[in-house]
Amino acid sequence: MGNVASALVLQPDEAALIAELQAGSEEAFAWLISRYHQPIYSLLARTLHDRADAADLTQEVFVKVFRGVGRFHGESSLRTWIYRIALHEASNQRRWWMRHKQQEVPIEQEIGDGSCGSSMKLKETLVDPGESPFEMALHEENRARVEAALSQVPEPFRTTLILRDIEGFVYEEVAEIQGVNLGTVKSRLVRGRALLKAILEEARSADAAASRRGFEVSLREEAR
């Protein structure tokens, strides 16, 4: 009876995809990666302490999906299941980061000679990640402001905001991914949105004050 109930959760197309994945279809898995690689990368990049880890961890997520799809019985949607795996890996990575924080290499540290004989910094070896549809839809300046503010929202409010407001999961899916009840999701969203708004307003106030100071300095210089 449980298997029948689980099967009813799935849409026909998704059920067919899962059947192909469980049968070991390379084409089905390639489609899965093309569909979910960028969204999962964006999710991890926003939830990790070090965005440079997101690419490697994204690959690890799909390894977990490949190994675990045979045990997937449709208790949730495939998308929800994949995101739950991604957040579990992100949580493990954050714990590892906290344990090894004192051993991290500063991004500005010089790691060797560049191709022209000059020193090279670690940050220069990092690949600039491609933008997600969410990122491309925003103006560059606004995107930078929102991303900077979002990074300051503490967990678990930040992840809840990402899942609901950026990734577009419905409340029930967010609750399932995070393993909490619906009331907790709604509470986290209210708190997270309030925190994000406060951070953005504070940043705008600081920018406005800086602009006024700059304008006043210009006026004084012109008066001389």
CA angle, 44 then 70 then 38, to 5°: 25
Q: What is the pLDDT of residues 121-156, one digit of tens each?
A: 544 444 444 555 555 545 566 777 888 889 999 999
Evaluate whether 157 touches 191 at the Cβ level (below 8 Å): yes
Q: What is the pLDDT of residues 155-205, one digit of tens each?
A: 999 999 999 988 989 999 999 999 999 999 999 999 999 999 899 888 888
pTM of the shown model: 0.62
Query: Can you tell me whether residue 31 is helix, strand or coil?
Result: helix
Residue owning tokens 């708190």: 191
Predicted pLDDT of residue 132: 52
| Calpha distance 101→94 (Å, rounded) | 10
CATH topology of domain 1-99: Rna Polymerase Sigma Factor; Chain: A (1.10.1740)
Specify the DSSP class assigned to residue 165. I
Evaluate whether 119 touches 110 at the Cβ level (below 8 Å): yes
Sequence spans of domains, the chain:
1-99, 132-224
Higher pLDDT, 37 or 119: 37
Residue owning tokens 């969410």: 134
CATH topology of domain 132-224: Arc Repressor Mutant, subunit A (1.10.10)
What is Dmax (Cα atoms) for the chain?
Answer: 86
Evaluate whether 47 touches 90 at the Cβ level (below 8 Å): yes
Q: The tokens of 121 are what? A: 């910094």
Evaluate whether 161 touches 153 at the Cβ level (below 8 Å): yes
